[in-house]
Amino acid sequence: MKDESDHLQDLERLAFQVSPAPQVITGNRRMLDFNDAFLKLFGYERDELADQLILKLYPSQADYQAIGERSLSWLRNALNGAYSDERFMQHQSGEVFWARANGYTLTPDEPFQLMVWHFERMDRAIRPTVNLTPREREISAHIVNGLTCKEVARKLSISHRTVEVHRARLMKKLQARNSADLVSKIIVLR
What average pLDDT score do residues 25-41 get?
97
Radius of gyration of the chain (CA): 19
β-pairing, 30-34 with 23-27?
A: antiparallel
Q: Model pTM?
A: 0.66
What average pLDDT score do residues 151-174 get?
92
Residue 38 contacts residue 22 (beta carbons within 8 Å): yes
Per the model's pLDDT, the better-predicted residue between 106 and 98 turns out to be 106
Which of 73, 60, 25, 53 has the alpha carbon at shortest distance from 186?
Answer: 60
Q: How many residues does the chain have?
A: 190
What average pLDDT score do residues 98-118 get?
95
Q: What is the CB neighbour count within 10 angstroms for residue 35?
A: 21
- For 121-185, the DSSP string reads E--SPP--SS---HHHHHHHHHHTTT--HHHHHHHHTS-HHHHHHHHHHHHHHTT-SSHHHHHHH
> Is pLDDT of 188 > 80?
no
Domains of the chain: 2-121 (3.30.450.20), 134-187 (1.10.10.10)
